Amino acid sequence: MVRIKSTVYAHKRKKAVLKEAKGQFGNRSKRYKEAIKSLIASRQYSFYDRKKKKGDFRSLWIVRLNAACRESGISYSRFVNGLKRANVSIDRKILSDLAITSPEAFGQIIETAKNAPVSKSVQKVTTKAPAKKIAKTKE
């Protein structure tokens, strides 16, 4: 049986890995074994950070909305609560963009949130203090 040599393909595979690891520090870009380890880690980080980026942007939008709301004399939490009560379903990304690009339209949304009707479930409920339990004694 003829032996098939895989040197060409192994060399191509190693070259591809080293090319992808180009720009990494030290041996990570020069040695195949180190490059493989480095690429595995970098792919894990890239997967994790693609997910994390969504939360980072949401935080940015909330910070922008909070700043814009406070300029209008309302806190962010009251603003969001007012929007829910008024059944306004605009996401934070669009609200943040509105606050930056057209403050007058955002001001109208803030007024809508401020003047939203208070539903029965949101109203403050006062309850009586619980009655004290009287221990029964044996007679």
Domain boundaries along the sequence of the chain: 11-114
Cα-Cα end-to-end distance for the chain: 104
What's the CA gap between 78 and 91, in Å, rounded?
16
Banded model confidence at residue 4, pLDDT cuts 50, 70, 90: confident
Q: How much is the average pLDDT of 49-55?
A: 96
Beta-carbon contacts of residue 95 (< 8 Å; ≥ 6 apart): 61, 65, 106, 109
What's the CA gap between 83 and 62, in Å, rounded?
14
Kindly report the pTM of this predicted structure: 0.67
What's the CA gap between 66 and 74, in Å, rounded?
9
Percent of the chain residues past pLDDT 70, beyond the cut:
85
- Domain 11-114 class? mainly alpha
Banded model confidence at residue 3, pLDDT cuts 50, 70, 90: confident
Cα angle value 36/26/14 (rounded, 5°):
35
Residues 72-106: tens digit of each pLDDT? 899 999 999 999 999 888 999 999 999 999 999 99
